Chain A
Amino acid sequence: MIKYRFGYAKYGEAKYVSHLDLIRLFSRSFKRAHIPLTYSEGFNPHPKLAIGLPLSVGVTSECECMDVEVDRELKKEDIDALNRSLPIGIHINGLCEKIPGTKKLSDIRFAEYRVTVVCDPVDPEKFSEFMSRPSVVVEKKTKRKTEECDILPDIHALSVCGITDDGLMLTMTLSAGPSANLKPDLVLTAMEKYIEGFNPKDYDIHRAKILSDAGLPLL
């Protein structure tokens, strides 16, 4: 049994594939590529496959990662075979065998997103003002109730990185991982509330980086 970390991208239509569906998709793709996954023991064996950070439905990414246990050593040809066995929109773009102890999936702390927003022009200054507010309170839905909470501590960086014909592009670094996880949608909702004249009509979210607590990429 050897543990590998795979890096992959999810784009195009595949962005609508949910987290649970993705796990099934991978285990079938490995089968098609003749890569023998290690299965857990027990009544209902399942492949040992862990996805680093779930990606919301509708979000694209170039930096996803998962840890997979395999019964034999992998070669470059295996990755080619795997890529041929994946549907359009999911592509393996990295592989590493020796995973350093400081880069466990549980060490994930931050994620960087690029958000393309369709909206009327807004003064970029206003976004810096937004970041220097004392607090950013939004309604957050949990399983049982809706509660007010301050999301500002989980927004580590936010800036306008481009202007498009019909709106603008933002980058934001947000808390991510097992302890705190902030979704870009919620940041947009907050900005709509606090930034005057900012009214997103549509947006696309793309995850650009996943980082550990040391600020390092996972792959």
Chain B
Amino acid sequence: MELSKILKEVQKPARYIGTEYNSVHKDLADVYIRFAFCFPDVYEVGMSHLGIKILYHLLNNEPDIYCERVFAPWTDMEEKMRAHNIPLFSLETRTCVSDFDVVGFTLQYEMSYSNIINMLDLSGIPALASDRGEDMPFVYAGGPCAYNPEPLSDVMDFFMIGESEEQIIEVMNAYRTWKKSGEPKIKFLESLLSIRGIYVPRFYDVSYNEDGTICEMVPNHPHAPTRVKKQIIRDMDACFYPETMIVPYMEIIHDRITLELFRGCIRGCRFCQAGMIYRPVRKRSPKRLLELAEKLIESTGYEEISMSSLSTSDYPELQELTEGLLDLTVQKKINLSLPSLRIDNFSLDLMQKVQKVRKSGLTFAPEAGSQRLRDVINKGVNEDDLIRSVSLAFAGGYSGVKLYFMIGLPTETDEDVKQIAHLAHKVVQAYRDTPKEKRNKGLRVTVSASSFVPKPFTPFQWAPQDDIETLRDKQHLIKDEIRDKAISYNYHEAKLSVLEGVFARGDRRLARVLLRAQKLGVRFDAWQECFQYDLWMEAFRQEGIDPNFYNHRERSYDEILPWDIIDPGVTKEFLMRENEKAKRGEVTNNCRKLCSGCGIKQFEEGDFCD
């Protein structure tokens, strides 16, 4: 009654009901392991994420496991839940999260960490692993941000590093065995040490130097590996992919079927963490993808299907795949939604056929304004390519172009920053150079500048991040350089990027700040309207921790980094080499042209890189 009463009073109550089509409902009497899959953001964001779709159905395919979903309640809901003493609950059975066996969080972006602490608090689960007794569930985390697990290592009982489709089943098997044994919790954690990709932070001791850097990080358990090797899926066609997906009641951010084409990326952009940690490239075959597409269309009734990967234009059989998908979508009367593609005759022709793309918006990501800086970050795009592409697009009737850039990149000068505006002007010029009878009216060029955040396991992991002031100056520099009404310009909140930078390369000591900040009231930091920078700074002050230590200093190559404990396959030597090349402005070939010896071939046996 309480809950139904508050659901009448909150915005978007459909966020909190778990009876959507294709959601799984099991008889609890048949269930041995109860698994809470937690996404530390609001429903419509979490439900758009591919990982949850995969793992939800993967786990629920096991008859004795019941995986349910948990999302962060929006602030209005949280207020009401706290006022009525309603603990955080799962959507499917409305069970309190603390009653589950295993509670798993996915870490997609650093700015969701405060929501994790808050969700544990709402569940009545102590945030620190050391405070959780035998009656409490195991709390773990996975996802891309888990590659630097340290800021959350006092919170989590363990981390799953890498791709979890196979690993999670191994962990569940270990859990089943442990639960039957009736042994204390520590025994389960010990049993995890034999599974690849599992990091159990309590089995490591960290000591620090006087200057605050790490002196040593050593196992304190005989079976704990000195480095935790990430787990990967070797055969994408054989790997589990859901043949059904939950169809939400409310509109979510990506409200469509998603087909995952491949993992990894051949490009090697030096700022991109995904491009490094997901190596090597492994793809699904067009045959498998088309088979999945058909099943998913049948089982969901969705009116749209999309393709997902880090760089869809690099999918070798893109033509074969899109032709197949086009046939299928015409036959089933649904839309094919295209990701942003490298613009050439093939893709323009494809967009023409799909039609769904309105002729307004095409996106390009030159990332940096000057050729010098694009070489530094190894973004293999040059100005001629870009101008040729936009001209092609303008002649094809497109009149809107979005350009994505980053500011604060290593070695960046004011001149590089100004070049962002200049490049936008050249795009405008390309439009004016397009014959009137070919182009469409209403040119709009949008320049979007985000702030660079150095990430672990990239060649820039040692680089200092620009401070707020510098980033703001650069943001304004671009603004002042733009002299055309057809160009609109937006940029991201610098404070948010700087805080993201702290947690991206943070260590164990930050857990205290997180807990403090949650108590002070931070939530939903990724949401501009909720972000409270001052509260965060207050938390750092109260805990006596200097955030600048984590992001504004240049690290030396021999410093022990908090994430050194993880082995992503790409070697430190390779990252150093890339960083040195960056300083010299030298580019590195993409993996299809020439292997640059990143280390993944030695890491994973088999014939992966083509």
Contact = CB atoms under 8 A, between A and B. Distances in A.
Interface of A: 12-14, 16-18, 21, 24-25, 27-32, 39, 57-58, 85-89, 118, 202, 204
A87 B21 contact: yes
B313 interface: no
9 contacts: A14-B249, A16-B14, A16-B16, A16-B249, A21-B251, A25-B21, A28-B300, A31-B301, A202-B1
Contacts of B554: none
Interface in B490-532: none
Given A24-B251, A31-B301, 6 more contacts: A17-B250, A25-B21, A28-B21, A31-B303, A58-B13, A87-B23
Contact of B7 (A24, A27, A28, A58): A58
A39 B335 CA distance: 14
A29 B5 CA distance: 29
B14 A32 contact: no
Contact of B303 (A13, A21, A27, A29): A27
A87 B250 contact: no
A32 B8 contact: no
Contacts of A21: 14, 249-251
B96 to A, nearest CB: 18
A204 B303 CA distance: 34
Nearest to A16: B13
Interface of B: 1, 4-5, 7-8, 13-14, 16-21, 23, 25, 247, 249-251, 298-303, 333
Contacts of B302: 28
B25 to A, nearest CB: 8
Nearest to A37: B333
B98 to A, nearest CB: 23
A49 B298 CA distance: 21
Given A58-B7, A58-B8, A17 B300 contact: no
B423 to A, nearest CB: 33
A18 B250 contact: yes
A16 B7 contact: yes
Contacts of A86: 21
B14 A18 contact: yes
B298 A32 contact: yes
Top 4 closest A-B pairs, CB basis? A28-B301, A31-B301, A32-B301, A16-B13
Contacts of A57: 8, 13
Contacts of A13: 17-19
A122 to B, nearest CB: 20
A87 B4 CA distance: 19
A87 B303 contact: no
A126 B247 CA distance: 47
A57 B10 CA distance: 11
B5 A202 contact: yes
A41 B346 CA distance: 29
A57 B8 CA distance: 8
A110 B102 CA distance: 51
